Structure 1
Amino acid sequence: MSPKLTKAEQTRRTRRAILDRARHLFATQGYAATGTEAIISKLGITRGALYHQFSDKLGVFKAVVVEAYDEITAHIRTRIEPLDTNWEQLVVGCQAFLEVAQQEELRRLVFIEAPAVLAVDTLVEIDQYGFGLLQESIQMAVAEGDLRVVDGEGFAHLVNGALNELAAWVAQSDDPQRLETAQQLIEALLIRHRS
């Protein structure tokens, strides 16, 4: 006989099940084509349980996107941790971000659905941690004399904008050459400003 789950554990499991099911549907069918009934139908829960966890479908989607951004950050960290210098971490970190644009679920969730569904200020808020890492790395590169730019914070916004646009471009195609080209372009942008 298995032990009875606590209310907190039941709530956690229900939330996890909703997020997993919603992520699959949003990534394969898109936000507009996914109704709350489709999310709950195979989970054996009520619409009330979904609304207890999230205010509405948009709340579920936002939570899915937050988790997707966490995965992107983890991917970047995995790629840069073995590297010795901040400069290498900056270049490889930017390139690693672009790699995500060809990972099927993340591509659709982050680069296609999220910009179409969520307000710009919501996306900026969700990406604040990732942008903070980029900004910190650029500031460090400036301080170490590796980058020569007019303003470190402004340059971080420039690189972030370039990364987001390149990622959207990469996400539109399965062609690995497009990813390689985008990675070369971001590296060229950084090298152009290297001291």
Structure 2
Amino acid sequence: MSPRPRAEMIEATRAKLLASARQAFGRLGYAQTSMDDLTAEAGLTRGALYHHFGDKKGLLAAVAAQIDAEMDQRLEAISSAVADPWQAFCERCHAYLHMALEPEIQRILLQDARAVLADSAQAGEEQCIESLGALLQHLIDARVVEPVAPLALARLINGSLVEAALWIANAAHPAQKLEQSLGGLNLLLRGLRRSDAAAATAGGA
């Protein structure tokens, strides 16, 4: 059997470290995770970790980016599966808040990454704002949402969703906070919609 190509071996090592770190950070939290235990579980050395990710903080950033990318894919799939653009937008916002109940997202993304990786978290939010802005521009062009600067509105909506998700993730009773947040979100979303668009939907129902 021929030896594996170097690029493939590098990718396999990174994948092992990410998988081991993701499991450890999700189970123990960032502060309680030992780099020696993590690398031993992956069958690798601390030198491999430092080579690929720099340090423990760099490893957390890579894990957070991986989870964030998966969330984006899930949200895109949810909104793409709904034919009505307005309903798709609403379901995307709802789904984001529901994700705040998932233990891995709670601990790694909404707790540890927010505390340890402030700059990286801000960069990730900018990408979310751009995506929301594009969706809102489409709704504005379709005369579903009142005309307004889409990126400004995207910042307001994203900020509301992130703050609500953090509130849910850090609550003693997160399911209760989710229910309260969804009620507030629905009120905010109704305020975005053009009155004539809502009337047209009601008339066609």
Match of 2:124 in 1: 126
Match of 2:135 in 1: 137
Give the 3-state SS of the residue equivalent to 1:42 in structure 2.
Answer: helix
What letter corresponds to residue 38 of structure 2 in structure 1? I
CA contact (8 A) 1:149 1:155 kept: no
Match of 1:53 in 2: 52
CA contact (8 A) 2:17 2:39 kept: yes
C-alpha distance in 2 between matches for 1:29 and 1:51: 21
C-alpha distance in 1 between matches for 2:93 and 2:164: 11
C-alpha distance in 2 between matches for 1:46 and 1:175: 38
Higher mean alpha-carbon deviation, 39-48 vs 171-180, is at: 171-180
What letter corresponds to residue 131 of structure 1 in structure 2? I
Query: What residue ranges of structure 2 are gaps of 5+ in the alignment?
Result: 195-205
Residue correspondence of structure 1 range 7-18 to structure 2 within 5 A: 7-18=6-17
C-alpha distance in 1 between matches for 2:78 and 2:5: 38
Match of 2:27 in 1: 28
Q: What is the CA distance between 1:175 and its match in structure 2? A: 4.5
> Structure 1 vs Structure 2: percent identity of aligned residues?
30
Match of 1:186 in 2: 185
Q: What is the CA distance between 1:156 and its match in structure 2? A: 0.7
Q: What is the CA distance between 1:143 and its match in structure 2? A: 2.1
Match of 2:162 in 1: 164
Q: What is the CA distance between 1:15 and its match in structure 2? A: 0.5
Residue correspondence of structure 1 range 105-116 to structure 2 within 5 A: 105-116=104-115
CA contact (8 A) 2:14 2:52 kept: yes
The number of residue pairs the alignment matches comes to 193
Does residue 1:153 correspond to 2:154, yes or no? no
Does residue 1:90 correspond to 2:93, yes or no? no
C-alpha distance in 1 between matches for 2:148 and 2:124: 27
CA contact (8 A) 2:35 2:46 kept: yes
C-alpha distance in 2 between matches for 1:149 and 1:29: 47
TM-score by length of 2: 0.86
C-alpha distance in 2 between matches for 1:107 and 1:85: 30
Query: What residue ranges of structure 1 are gaps of 5+ in the alignment?
Result: none
Q: What is the CA distance between 1:149 and its match in structure 2? A: 5.5
Q: What is the CA distance between 1:153 and its match in structure 2? A: 1.6
Indicate the RMSD between aligned Cα atoms, in angstroms: 1.7
C-alpha distance in 1 between matches for 2:161 and 2:79: 17
Q: What is the CA distance between 1:134 and its match in structure 2? A: 1.2
C-alpha distance in 2 between matches for 1:110 and 1:29: 14
Higher mean alpha-carbon deviation, 14-23 vs 28-37, is at: 28-37
